[in-house]
Amino acid sequence: MEIISRKEALEQGLNRYFTGISCSHGHAYYRYTSNGACVLCTIRDSHRNQQKESYKEKARDRAKRSQKATPRDKKNAIWRKCYSTNTEYRARKAAASARRKQKYREDYAKLSPHEKLEVDILYEEAYLIGYHVDHIIPTSAGGKHEPSNLQIVSPEYNMRKGAKLFNYKERQV
């Protein structure tokens, strides 16, 4: 292997060059003139990516084969089709969501700086551990968007609770 610089290799129109200097993984091998990357590292990385993709495809195939269409799956498929074609329903849902977010913004604006900080910390903690922030008294039942009415709960509990008032004894975090 002849030692040659990248600049010289580019001038000669070569695709690869050899400097005799090891890459960060210890390979003393050719490098590509286009990006200066080690040829062996590039081959290894592309092989790893192919293995990852192959694994993902196999996992998807296994999942598809193991799943059987249940009545609930059929119902969900019908619902998705109906939802995607019903623009009026989607517009109503979007408007309701916008009203709810606007109410949260208005309630948040009325809070003191200390209360705003408490609300922000609650949301940050919930985000970091993968939980939800729930209104103890739902806003639809007159509850406010303030620290004393917020709690961190598991996603399962929050989905089950919805906009209902639950007894604290039933709560499982």
Buried (b) or exposed (e) across 17-48, using 16+ Cβ within 10 A? Answer: bbbeeebeeeeebbbbbeeeebbbbeeeeeee
Average pLDDT rounded to a whole number, residues 7-26: 90
pLDDT at 11 over 90: yes
Q: What pLDDT score does 17 carry?
A: 92
Band of residue 167 on the pLDDT scale cut at 50, 70, 90: low
Task: Give the least confident one: 30-39, 41-50, 132-141, 164-173.
Answer: 164-173
Q: What pLDDT score does 160 carry?
A: 84
* Backbone Cα Rg of the chain: 29
pLDDT digits (tens, 9 = 90+) for 95-146: 999 998 898 889 889 999 999 888 888 888 888 888 999 988 888 888 888 9
Average pLDDT rounded to a whole number, residues 150-160: 88
The pTM assigned to this predicted structure is 0.46
Q: What pLDDT score does 173 carry?
A: 45
pLDDT digits (tens, 9 = 90+) for 47-87: 787 777 888 888 888 777 767 666 777 788 888 887 788 88
Counting Cα atoms < 13 Å in the Cβ hemisphere of 166 gives: 17
